[in-house]
Chain A
Amino acid sequence: QQPVQSPQAVILREGEDAVINCSSSKALYSVHWYRQKHGEAPVFLMILLKGGEQKGHDKISASFNEKKQQSSLYLTASQLSYSGTYFCGTASLYDKVIFGPGTSLSVIP
């Protein structure tokens, strides 16, 4: 089953924070996060594994709540370069990733 993402779209001013949520009705082993800019291929951001963890690099971080089958991506002090569509993807152990519908994020000056 495809994971659910919210919100569908968000507009931010530079420097503002955003949270993108991803949830699944299926037991998960891993959650992936990718960003896709217009006309380009998706780019891997991070992967979180079962066990409940938080990861981050620079001003982008994510958490995975295994019990709730939910993950959240946190973008702090947003920059213009953060604009794009963010996809979460979920997978069971040793299985392919199924992607959510995406969240369009626009950062304006």
Chain B
Amino acid sequence: GAGVSQSPSNKVTEKGKDVELRCDPISGHTALYWYRQSLGQGLEFLIYFQGNSAPDKSGLPSDRFSAERTGGSVSTLTIQRTQQEDSAVYLCASSFLELGGYTFGSGTRLTVV
């Protein structure tokens, strides 16, 4: 597609429920990244996929967070047993190899009530 597409754009969930966030990167971009941005804060790295290599999961805050990337394209970030501190905007980005600039999606605003 022309840009990075994320869905849903907004998600309100009850504490303790699981959520899935989807990212569809730019076609041909080999690298895909997930970041989290809390209100008024910076961009916190979560996880990074590059081609067929094992993902860099070093930024995941707990084992409740997981992500996969199928067929080198679409990625899903899953948060199990959501907590209120998980409320944030989850941003996906893609790039052509690691040396290119990142194109960000519009994000998913997650609110845990």
Contact = CB atoms under 8 A, between A and B. Distances in A.
B75 to A, nearest CB: 14
A34 B33 CA distance: 15
A100 B42 contact: yes
B99 interface: yes
A44 B98 contact: no
B54 to A, nearest CB: 13
A101 to B, nearest CB: 5
A48 to B, nearest CB: 11
A91 B50 CA distance: 15
A46 B101 contact: yes
A64 interface: no
Interface residues of B, number: 20
A101 B50 CA distance: 25
A87 B101 CA distance: 13
B98 A91 contact: yes
Nearest to A94: B98
The B interface, classified by DSSP as helix, strand, loop or mixed, is loop
Contacts of B41: 101
Given A42-B104, A87-B43, A96 B99 contact: no
Contacts of A94: 50, 98
Given A44-B103, A47-B99, A96-B33, 10 more contacts: A2-B42, A40-B106, A41-B91, A41-B104, A44-B101, A49-B99, A87-B42, A87-B43, A91-B98, A96-B56
23 contacts: A30-B99, A32-B102, A40-B106, A41-B91, A41-B104, A41-B107, A44-B101, A44-B102, A44-B103, A46-B101, A47-B99, A49-B99, A87-B42, A91-B98, A93-B98, A94-B50, A96-B33, A96-B45, A96-B98, A97-B33, A97-B45, A97-B102, A99-B45
